[in-house]
Amino acid sequence: MPLTPRRQRFVDEYLIDLDARAAARRAGFSPSTRSYPTKLMRDPDVARAIGQAMAERAKRTGITRARVLEEYAKIAFVDLRHLADWNGDGVAFKDAGSISDELAAAIALVVELEADEPVQGSEPRFRVGVFDKLKALDALARLVDPHWNADVLDAPTPLPDRLH
């Protein structure tokens, strides 16, 4: 069954930020009915429309679950020994042209140091930073298994023993 114009607007608004409550409000539903966004999301026609729109967007942009997993894996499993050589004498970064695309994807920033910033010995005149491996590992784990660490995060707080 086709969606009403307001439900279609909800679908369009939901795709902006994936926030059902904000989408319902922007689509013209009353903000005082807190449970209505949940009802809309459970509606089979609305859910189907959202799924189709998300699939079309993924196809159009090339952003797929597999691609996101691959990018997180590049960050999570980066080996810094492929980026630089270091020993007691200092650090020698590899030439940008010699590093793989996979390693380059893990680099968050390259900053050239100002001339007046102190440098030790043969230390390079720039700094390189990689994305946070721990965050990437956590995100990767949640994408692979949505219930990752759920037993720890959702465990109820133990109640003190009660004397009767």
**CA–CA separation, 13 and 27 (whole Å):** 7
Q: What integer is the mean pLDDT of 26-50?
A: 89
pTM above 0.75, yes or no: no
Residue 83 has a pLDDT of 86
**pLDDT-based confidence at residue 148 (cuts at 50, 70, 90):** low
Residue 160 has a pLDDT of 55
Residue carrying structure tokens 């380059």: 104
Q: Which tens digit of pLDDT belongs to each residue from 93-133?
A: 888 888 898 889 999 998 887 776 665 555 557 788 899 99
DSSP 124: -
**CA–CA separation, 146 and 93 (whole Å):** 37
Q: Flag whether pLDDT at 85 surpasses 80.
A: yes
Tokens (6 digits) for 10: 């909800």
**CA–CA separation, 51 and 44 (whole Å):** 10
Residue 149 has a pLDDT of 65
Q: Flag whether pLDDT at 152 surpasses 80.
A: no
**CA–CA separation, 55 and 48 (whole Å):** 10
**CA–CA separation, 142 and 125 (whole Å):** 38
User: In whole angstroms, how far apart are CA 64 and each of 8, 58, 59, 67, 104?
Assistant: 24, 6, 8, 5, 20
Q: What integer is the mean pLDDT of 62-71?
A: 88
